[in-house]
Amino acid sequence: MIKAINISHSYSNDIALQNIDFEVKKGEFVAIIGESGSGKSTLLSILSTLLKPTSGEIFFKDINFKDIKNIDTFRQENIGFIFQFHYLIDYLNIKENIQIANEHARDKEIEELLELLGIKNIINKYPNEISGGQRQRAAIARALINKPKVIFADEPTGNLDSKNSQNVFDIFKKLSKEGTTIIVATHDINLSSKADRIVEVKDGQL
């Protein structure tokens, strides 16, 4: 599904990643762990096309990222992003926030997705009217509305309590079993145990 070959990345004179080879299969749930500053978020950003590596190559289904002419269209058709902060728009209700990612999404699609995530009852509420866990699940719904082939999540439970954190990882597990590839960067070893595979980044190396 995704293959990284000899990836290295530097910020000025600081080496963040060095000679990384990494491969993820379709439907696999992979947790990337490591301490703050280890390079895990940099690796996730490169794998998800948000950051170009200093050197090395990334392939998606045998397509070299360098050969993708319209990266925005590619992302919209293939990738879902979930971050530590939900980035919901305060003046839009939950349905409208999800429609930002896909203006053609039908109401029924959104309702079914929210039901899957256990938050169908908040569809007409605004972000400041719901809990942190509900906001994060709404952000997951927004990431899923285009039926992405791969979901990248960077510390998605960083602002959640343990119960909601477990719920989010249970959702990832369910999605991976249904064929969605999940790649999560997290510092939480307990949560990462729910993944099919754990990869540790230390000092910029796997």
pLDDT in tens, 61-111: 888 888 888 888 888 889 988 887 778 999 999 999 999 888 888 899 999
Distances from the Cα of 144 to the Cαs of 149, 163, 166, 169, 190, in angstroms? Answer: 9, 22, 19, 15, 25
Please give the DSSP secondary-structure letter assigned to residue 153.
Answer: E
Q: What is the pLDDT of residue 84?
A: 73
Q: What CATH number does domain 2-200 carry, 2.70.210.12, 3.30.450.40, 3.30.70.260, 3.40.50.300?
A: 3.40.50.300
Of 151, 158, 116, 152, residue with least CA distance to 137: 116
List residues bridging with 58 in a β-sheet. Answer: 4
Tell me the pLDDT of the chain averaged across its residues: 89
Tokens 């999800």 found at:
98
Q: Using CA atoms, how far apart are residues 133 and 1, in angstroms rounded to an integer?
A: 30
Dist CA 68 CA 161 (whole Å): 39
Predicted pLDDT of residue 168: 82
Whether the CB-CB separation of 131 and 125 falls below 8 Å is answered with: no
Which regions of the chain are under pLDDT 50? none
| Residue 157, token pair as written in the block | 């439970």
> Which residue type sits at 34?
G
